[in-house]
Chains A and B, each alone.
Chain A
Amino acid sequence: MSERIVELEVLRFNPETDTEPRFQRYSVPCMNEWVVLDALNHVKESIDPTLSYRWSCHMAVCGSCGMMINGEPKLACKAFLREYEGVIRVEPLAHFPIQRDLVTVIDDFVTKLKRVKPYLIPKEDQPVEAGEFRQSPAELKRYKQYTLCINCMLCYAACPEYGLVPKFIGPAAISLAHRYNEDSRDGGREERQQEIASNEGVWECSFVGACSEVCPEHVDPAGALQQIKIKSTVDWYKEHAMPWSKK
């Protein structure tokens, strides 16, 4: 196992003492196969215990360690040091307020996630005796990729429209709404449409596509949003140009 000194440039911010963030440089002795999160852990344990950041699983499942690494939204646990040369610049996720150091305030995302009702709303209530809601493999496959979202918010950090228009509901929340809309057991699309087909929903999206490019779980939020735009457009013409087609 070979070792290498990695220069980390970490954005620091202490709300009690700082008026604005500043970069702090650390020279970190690292193993070659380490990820950026390992380097940060080493800093915290051996160099500077005041450094704050979120992490939990170290295996790209929990979605807590999202941060900007050399300007790209990444999971720190998935960003291998061997893929970087020179100084590695680590900043908190873009477009979110900085709570402290690499920790961001994520209330905005959590609120939006609740608004889109990301849970099954059955078409009709069914007594337990009626048995399970059956679903074919094809029906499962239809929405499966969207279930892989881990709420890491990298897509929000990558989305320029979210940066420019913060009220935009954004990629992950809308594609999670899509995940339930596309579920054969669900009947809640019309309720979700009130949020995601509003001006703050898909219509703030200009299909940059960055969300899908940075997603660590290979979910395709950009695709979900375009599909919702097409369906909402068909809805609109049905509701306004052909009022007789209303249920």
Chain B
Amino acid sequence: MAKSNKPIVWGLFAAGGTVTAFLTPALVLLTLLPVFGVMPELLAYDNLRAFAGHWMGKLVLFGILLLMMWHAAHRLRVTLHDFGVRADGAVAVAVYLAAAAGTLAAAYFLLRI
């Protein structure tokens, strides 16, 4: 038997799972806080523009988004299989294409800031 190439996507899935586990609740809280009258300074247009305008900010945002999307995409592939969708090849192409498109879009938007 040949060794599998799944480590490419699994590596992203695992790294993404770890990063999202640590950061996602905090990131959701950031945009939920204004509802309770607490406005994080970072969400002000000028501050966020400055953060995303710096190359380090861009890199952080890009890294987080990339890992989140590939994590979700890979797990979605497994989940669909568990729900009985047997067209694993087609599902794999669809979810990874979506993640790749999202990654490119993230890079594009970041470069325009």
Contact = CB atoms under 8 A, between A and B. Distances in A.
Given A195-B1, A200-B1, A236 B81 contact: no
Nearest to B81: A164
Contacts, number: 45
Contacts of B8: 236
B41 interface: no
Interface string A221-243: 00000000110110111000000
B78 interface: yes
B14 A197 contact: no
A206 interface: yes
Contacts of A194: 1-3
B6 A237 contact: no
A201 interface: yes
A173 B1 CA distance: 16
Given A164-B82, A206-B78, A201 B14 contact: no
Nearest to A115: B1
Nearest to A207: B78
B75 to A, nearest CB: 9
B82 A199 contact: no
A197 B82 contact: no
Mostly, the A contact residues are: helix
A233 B7 contact: yes
Interface residues of A, number: 19
A188 interface: no
B40 interface: no
Nearest to B1: A198
A81 B19 CA distance: 46
A215 to B, nearest CB: 22
Interface residues of B, number: 14
A104 interface: no
B14 A233 contact: yes
Nearest to B11: A233
A206 B82 contact: yes
B55 interface: no
Given A230-B14, A233-B11, A233-B14, A203 B82 contact: no
A218 B8 CA distance: 32
A160 interface: yes
Contacts of B11: 233, 236-237
A151 interface: no
Interface string A182-204: 00000000000111011111010
Interface of A: 160, 164, 193-195, 197-201, 203, 206, 229-230, 232-233, 235-237
Interface of B: 1-8, 10-11, 14, 78, 81-82
The 8 closest A-B pairs by CB, nearest first: A236-B7, A198-B1, A233-B7, A203-B6, A233-B11, A197-B3, A199-B4, A206-B78
10 contacts: A164-B82, A194-B3, A197-B4, A198-B2, A198-B4, A203-B10, A229-B7, A232-B3, A232-B4, A237-B7
Given A164-B82, A229-B10, 4 more contacts: A193-B3, A199-B4, A235-B7, A237-B7
